[in-house]
Amino acid sequence: MKSHQKVIILGTGGTIAGLAPSSGELFEYKAAQVDVASLLQGVALPPEIDVLSEQVAQIDSKNMNAQVWRGLIDRVLHWQSQIDVAGIVITHGTDTIEETAFLLACMASSSKPIVLTCAMLPANASKADGPKNLADAIVWACDSNNQGVSVVCAGQIHEAWWIQKIYTDQLDAFDSGVHGAWGVIQNGQIVLNRKISKINFDFQTPSPQFVVQTSDWPRVWLIPNHSGSEDLQVLAWLEYAQSHALKINGIVLAGTGNGTANDALERTLNHAQSLGIQVWRSSRCYQGIQRKQKADAFTSAGYWSPYKARIALLLDLLYQLESASKARALI
C-alpha cells in the first residue's frame, strides 16, 4: 500500500446508516438515519489512508431509483478524475446493492476501483457489522490488485457481475454462485481466490456523461412467469401506456427454467415486441446461462439475473438514444 492514499466515501443510506429503537433490536429499525461522516467516526483505519466523505443520497435502498443513480454516477466520475484519489467506497443498502454495483461496473470508465459496502445490522446495534465492512472496503479500495467494481461484506469480496443477495437474515448475506468470492479480508489482510473476470458484453453501453445528462430514462419493466401465470399484467401495461401516452421501452421476462413463459404470456410478449417494445428473456434460476433457442424472437440475457438483465437492457436502450442523438447532430 502506498503512503497516504486518499479514498472518497460516498454515502447513499441503507441499513449501514440505520437506527433501531435500542441496541438489542435487530429487525425493527429505520434505514438511512446516520450521515456518512458520522459512520466514519467509528471506523479504525491505517494511518496512511486519508478519507473524505460526501453524502450523495440518504435512502433505504429499496427506494433506489434513476435520479439517485444519476447523481451517484456524476460524483463517481468527478472523483475518478481527481489525480490524488486512489479509490471510491460507496455505502449502500443490501436490498439493491447488486443492481447498483452492476450498473457502475457497466459504466466504469476508469481503472480506479469502486467498492460498495453495506450492513445487515443498524448502526447502533450492539454488534453492528457496518464499521468492519466499511473498514475492509476502504482498505480494499487502496489495494494495488483492485480494479473495477466490487462489493465487500462480511469479510468477502464479490465482483459486481456475480454478486447476489441470498439471505434475508445472515451477516454474510451475499454469494457469487459458481464463480465464488473474488477474495477475503481477514484482519486487514487481503487474499484473492482467483483472477478478475473478463466480461464480453452482449449489449451496448452509453457514455457515463450521457447517462448523467439524460433525466428521462427508458422504462424497462420486469414480468415473471410462474405456475398459474396470466398475460393480464402485460396487457394492462400496454393499455395503460396507450391511454396515458406513456412509452414502455423494454420488458424483461423472469422466466422459469431456461427463461420460459407459458403460451399466453409468450404470445402477449411477442405482441408487445411487435409494437416496438424490446423484450429480453432471462431465467429466475439462481445459476446457469439462459440459452437462446433458434426460433426465439426475444434477446437472451445470458448470464444475467432478471434484475441485472433489466439494467443491461436499460443501458442498451440509453445507448440507442445516445447514438440517435449523435446522428441527429451530424445532419
Catalytic machinery residues: 15
Q: What are phi and psi of 225, to 5 degrees?
A: -110, 140
Cβ(76)–Cβ(110) below 8 Å: no
β-pairing, 156-159 with 149-153? antiparallel
Euclidean distance between CA atoms 39 and 61, whole angstroms? 17
What is the Cα Rg of the chain in Å? 21
Residues counted in the chain: 331
SS (H, E, C) 31-76: CCCCCHHHHHCCCCCCCCEEEEEEEEEEECHHHCCHHHHHHHHHHH
Buried b (16+ CB within 10 A) or exposed e, 51-80: bebeebbbbbbeebeeebbbebbebbbebb
Residue 115 CA, distance from chain mean position: 11
